[in-house]
Amino acid sequence: MDTPIASTPAPSNCGSHCCGAAEPPPTPTPPARAGAVGFHIPSMDCAVEEGEIRRALAPIAGIEGLRFDLAQRTLSLAAAPPVLEAALAAIRNMGFDPQPLAGAAAAPTPHGHHGHAGEGLPRLLASLLCALAAEALTFIPAAAGPGSQILQLAEMGLAAAAIALAGFDTYKKGFYALRAGRLNINALMAVAVTGAFLIGQWPEAAMVMALYAIAELIEARAVDRARNAIKSLLAMAPEDAEVRQADGSWARQLTASVAVGARVRIRPGERIPLDGVILTGTSAIDQAPVTGESLPVDKGPGDEVYAGTINQAAALEFRVTAAASDSTLARIIHAVEEAQASRAPTQRFVDRFAAIYTPAVFALALAVALLTPWLMGYGWLQALYKALVLLVIACPCALVISTPVTLVSGLAAAARRGILIKGGVYLEQARLLKVVALDKTGTVTQGQSVLVEFAPVAAGADRAQLARLALALASRSDHPVSLAIARGLAAECAQPAAVHDFAAAAGRGVQGAVDGLPLVLANHRWIEERGQCSAALEAGLALHERAGRTVAMLADAGGVLAICAVADTIKPSSRQAVAELKALGITPVMLTGDNLTTAQVIAGQAGITELRADLLPEHKLAAIRELQQRFGPTAMVGDGINDAPALAQSDIGFAMGAAGTHTAMEAADVVVMNDELGRLPETVRLSRRTRGVLLQNIALALGIKTAFLLAALFGSATMWMAVFADMGASLLVVFNGLRLLRGK
């Protein structure tokens, strides 16, 4: 799922830079290639800054590859040494500080916030104390003579100290932004605070800068919760594993160094360090971190286990099937991070709106400063002060940050439930679905045939003995029907009897001698060929066939002894899931390559009224197109290679991840890791909830901005109020978006 020129936009701390955030990055440069050099840029964490860096690097010839990872705040550059130095110089001229990594892939997980990592909370608190002290001096009664001058100097000195403590980074980045002709919050804050200081509003200028910096810190910490919601899953995988050595001994080593094919041992209660296949032992595995399943799953030899899941009951040994960097858990994290790069429709709208809003308000502030003294009779200082207030209001921070934080929180909430959504666009558009097309096998049903009935034909026959004979023949064959019979009868028989002269008859069944008795385990055709059908038997077989079952019969030379009915049974959750889809106003339709009779039985059990059977892959593709024309937005749910064309054609493709093929998972937009159909209505509900939070955030951001904009123009809004409006609204929408991380 690697995308070229990957940019992984984490939810940005727009409090520091998003006033220019609406500008989309320019045409991407080629992706970083092998040999690229990695750099950590602490203050780069949103698409605006990515766009600024891209524009700065665009004129530099010789850059062979470029890759941004905003979640990690890293940039990988592939270029010759002279070109690399020129690129780094251009980045530094933008006000960024690229720090070399040990390797391009060695991106550290950032902590803290982006714009004030150097100051830290103690420094900002010192700034706030200085600002409060400067404000307190304004309440001291004015005195004449030298005392008044000393008081003013103290007030101005404390204010300057507060601004210096909190605003160095803001001034630095604001200077670079103004030099480049770009309006961002740093530029606006630098101009506004400087202007307030120059017109004598010292305490207010100091308090504005201190409050802005502290609010930014709080906002950044809150945004990091959304950014790290998925990465926290990675911490669930242990850092080391107990690995069998060449001499047969066991030793612990870092999971990153464990090779594929190694044998690993885990004890009860331990987390599984790597993906693998169980070799020895049987245990219950808590798979909630990967699949979202609420109950542990029993697993034994041959079953897959995933890194980060918990071994609950007994010791296990397994063979490693994927490196630590390619585990299912790591791929989930990587896919969700890449999903953040896709801009949802609401986010694109907000970005376009913000691109107009900021320069418009800036022009309005300039007009207020220059024209209101002539048109409205304001004093020049009063007009200038109102213009400075408008500069603070001019940043659409809350509006721009409202969408990425909400969408990333929704993506993280889905991943925790075992729903891997490959982009915010699919999370937002799932609410629009009108129809869901469901493959039958492996989606609505278990995808594995099971023995649903074993019945002796003759009344009073020894069932246990007949089961023993049928098991003896079935256990020697690898045909799916025989395997289902063998699994079903194994619980009734301690050990199958020995079989002599065993042979398989293609398209008919198997035969052999058990306890010296010649027997066959045959299908309907072979029994007819043997002349052993009767009217009563035909009637019984017809009932099974109408129920969508496959029948095999145990027979000897005298006739049929027992009937074995095999079927692919419906998943326990399918009927409830179909009912929930209908309650959401979504029409379920079954598309299957199976025969019509079987499809009708399964559809009836699941509560699906519309179905199409005997479909080849191209027929499923055509069916999706027809459903899109007839209903509108259509989802396809499948797990096989034959579903891939339909998955790609649908508006949103859902792949059943646990049993699904690699092709289906790549073609799908959403992967359900635990194969439960109930995750579909859950995704739709999450999409609708996400949409609701998005609209709430946009309404809050625009409403608060509009109110304070009017207050600044026609009332008595102060810079304090402007900062509270700007940063308060930003914090409000961030915490509102984070609500999606809670609950189901």
pLDDT band per the 50, 70, 90 thresholds, residue 109:
very low
pLDDT at 116 over 50: no
Q: Are 729 and 700 in contact (CB under 8 A)?
A: yes
Lowest-confidence region among 156-170, 220-234, 587-601, 624-638: 220-234
pLDDT at 9 over 60: no
Which of 461, 462, 563, 477 minimizes the C-alpha distance to 512?
A: 477
**CA-CA distance, 564 to 157, in Å (whole number)?**
93
pLDDT at 465 over 50: yes
**CA-CA distance, 317 to 248, in Å (whole number)?**
13
**CA-CA distance, 401 to 730, in Å (whole number)?**
7
Give the residue ranges of DSSP H helices in 264-305: 288-291
pLDDT band per the 50, 70, 90 thresholds, residue 230:
low
Q: What is the pLDDT of residue 658?
A: 55
Which of 583, 542, 568, 593 minimizes the C-alpha distance to 685?
A: 583
Q: What is the pLDDT of residue 336?
A: 58
Sheet with 283-286, side-by-side order of all strands = 297-299, 283-286, 310-311
- DSSP state string for 307-320: TT-EE-SS-EEEEE
* DSSP 8-state symbol, 233: H
Q: What is the pLDDT of residue 718?
A: 73
Q: Are 410 and 329 in contact (CB under 8 A)?
A: no
The whole-number average pLDDT for the span 51-75 is 78
pLDDT at 23 over 50: no
Looking at per-residue pLDDT, the higher value among 612 and 211 belongs to 612
> Measured between alpha carbons, how far is residue 392 from residues 130, 287, 397 in Å?
22, 49, 10
pLDDT at 135 over 70: yes
Tokens of residue 660, six digits: 């699904």
- 690-696-697 Cα angle (round to 5): 90
**CA-CA distance, 599 to 604, in Å (whole number)?**
8
**CA-CA distance, 319 to 243, in Å (whole number)?**
10
Lowest-confidence region among 79-83, 381-385, 400-404, 612-616: 400-404
Q: What is the pLDDT of residue 320?
A: 93
Give the residue ranges of DSSP H helices in 42-184: 47-57, 81-93, 120-137, 146-179
pLDDT tens digit sequence for 667-725 = 678 888 777 888 999 999 999 999 999 899 888 888 887 888 788 777 677 776 777 77
Which of 234, 229, 251 minimizes the C-alpha distance to 242?
A: 251
What residues does 66 pair with on adjacent strands? 77
- The catalytic residues are 439
Phi-psi region of 289 (alpha: psi -120 to 50; beta: other; left: phi over 0): alpha
Which of 176, 49, 44 minimizes the C-alpha distance to 115?
A: 44
Residue ranges of E strands in 578-640: 587-591, 610-612, 634-638
Q: What is the pLDDT of residue 406?
A: 82
The whole-number average pLDDT for the span 110-131 is 62
Q: What is the pLDDT of residue 5?
A: 34
Looking at per-residue pLDDT, the higher value among 614 and 516 belongs to 516
Lowest-confidence region among 199-213, 285-299, 515-529: 285-299
Regarding pTM above 0.75, the answer is: no
**CA-CA distance, 280 to 303, in Å (whole number)?**
10
Q: What is the pLDDT of residue 343?
A: 54
pLDDT tens digit sequence for 567-599 = 888 888 899 999 999 999 999 999 987 778 878
pLDDT at 662 over 60: no
Share of the chain above pLDDT 90, in %: 16
Q: Are 347 and 427 in contact (CB under 8 A)?
A: no
pLDDT at 373 over 70: yes
Mean pLDDT of the chain: 78
pLDDT tens digit sequence for 288-300 = 666 655 567 788 8
Query: Quick one: which H or E segment has residue 481?
Result: helix 480-490
Which of 95, 75, 78, 80 minimizes the C-alpha distance to 32?
A: 78
Q: What is the pLDDT of residue 587?
A: 95
Q: What is the pLDDT of residue 211?
A: 75
Query: Quick one: which H or E segment has residue 521?
Result: strand 517-522
Q: What is the pLDDT of residue 7?
A: 37
Q: What is the pLDDT of residue 225?
A: 61
**CA-CA distance, 654 to 570, in Å (whole number)?**
18
Tokens of residue 311, six digits: 């071994």
First to last CA, the chain: 27
Q: Are 329 and 673 in contact (CB under 8 A)?
A: no
* DSSP 8-state symbol, 102: S
Tokens of residue 671, six digits: 């992967």
What residues does 298 pair with on adjacent strands? 284
- Residue 422 in 3-state DSSP? coil
- DSSP state string for 689-720: HHHHHHHHHHHHHHHHHHHHHHHHHHS---HH
Tokens of residue 468, six digits: 């023993």
Looking at per-residue pLDDT, the higher value among 290 and 77 belongs to 77
Q: What is the pLDDT of residue 740?
A: 84
Which of 65, 80, 63 minimizes the C-alpha distance to 34?
A: 65
pLDDT tens digit sequence for 185-196 = 677 778 878 877
Share of the chain above pLDDT 70, in %: 79
**CA-CA distance, 11 to 411, in Å (whole number)?**
12
pLDDT at 342 over 70: no
pLDDT at 355 over 60: yes
Q: Are 725 and 393 in contact (CB under 8 A)?
A: yes
**CA-CA distance, 744 to 732, in Å (whole number)?**
22
Which of 243, 307, 301, 244 minimizes the C-alpha distance to 272?
A: 307
